[in-house]
Amino acid sequence: MFDKFGHMLHIDFGFMFEIFPGGKMFKFERSAFKFSYDYKLLIDADGSKDVYNKFLELTTQGFLICRKYSETIMNLVTISMYSD
C-alpha cells in the first residue's frame, strides 16, 4: 500500500491474526510487535537515530490511537472472523 506521498506501508494481517502460510498453526509470539534489527537499519541507515526516534514517536502515537478505538477495531475483527 502506498500513501499520497509515495511511502510504502505494509501491515502483515496474517501475523497479527496468527495466520501462517499453509493454514492456521498454533504458534504464539511473546512480543506484541515484531521489529527486527534489519528494519532498524532500513529506517535509519545513516546511524543518526533521528529517523528511528521519529519512527518510535509515531508508532507510539499510532498504538495510542488504536487503543482509543479498540472496541470498534475488535468489532470489525470479530465480524471478519466469520467470513470466508
Q: What is the pLDDT of residues 4-63, one digit of tens each?
A: 777 776 666 665 556 555 555 555 556 666 677 778 888 888 888 888 888 889 988 988
| pLDDT score, position 71 | 92
What's residue 23's pLDDT?
Answer: 56
34-60 CB burial, b ≥16 within 10 A, e <16: eeeeeeeeeebeeeeeeebeebeeeee
* In contact, 53 and 63? CB cutoff 8 Å: no
Interior CA angle at 14 toward 12 and 15, to 5°? 70
State residue 61's pLDDT score.
Answer: 93
Whole-structure pTM value = 0.51
Query: Which ranges constitute the DSSP H helices of 1-84?
Result: 13-16, 37-43, 50-68, 70-81
**What does the pLDDT read at residue 26?**
52
